[in-house]
Amino acid sequence: MEPIFAVTVAVFFATSIYLLLSKHIIRILLGVAIFGNAVNLTIFTAGRLMREVPPIIPVDLDMPAGATANPLPQALILTAIVISFSFFAFLLVLAFRSYQELGTDDTDGMRVAEPEGEELPPLGY
């Protein structure tokens, strides 16, 4: 089961990086959302995937008798889902407002701080 999740995570990361390298804001936002899901799935897979044994310790033992799923990554993922959804909603509103103001979702067309007709600033050092 875990190798399937590992391949899925790799596909998510590859897709998100491809979308993040785009020049269109909507694709970049979708890349951010998929990247967050890939990170959450990575944390979830690292916490072991076991449905048969619940992470409950019996009263007479100090630790579980066998291998169990770790509940901490699951709790962290629930928090991360809420945070990533609010972050995505904020970015979506920000992109919509910039589209309303500038009339484009292309990052090259959004360079309004640079004067028209002059040479573009260097993109690297």
**Domains along the sequence of the chain with CATH:** 2-52+69-102 (1.10.287)
CA distances to 43, 54, 60, 77, 97 from 73, rounded to whole Å, are 6, 14, 25, 6, 35
- Out of 7-16, 28-37, 59-68, pick the least confident: 59-68
113: confidence class by pLDDT, cuts 50, 70, 90: low
Higher-pLDDT residue of 87 and 44 is 87
pLDDT at 119: 77
pLDDT at 122: 75
Model confidence at 52: pLDDT above 90: no
- Model confidence, pTM: 0.74
Please state the rounded mean pLDDT for residues 67-74.
76
pLDDT at 38: 94
Model confidence at 55: pLDDT above 80: no
Which pairs count as long-range contacts for 45-52, CB under 8 Å and 24+ apart, including other chains?
45/2, 45/5, 45/6, 45/9, 46/73, 47/71, 47/72, 47/73, 47/74, 49/1, 49/2, 49/5
CA distance 41 to 2: 11
Model confidence at 39: pLDDT above 80: yes
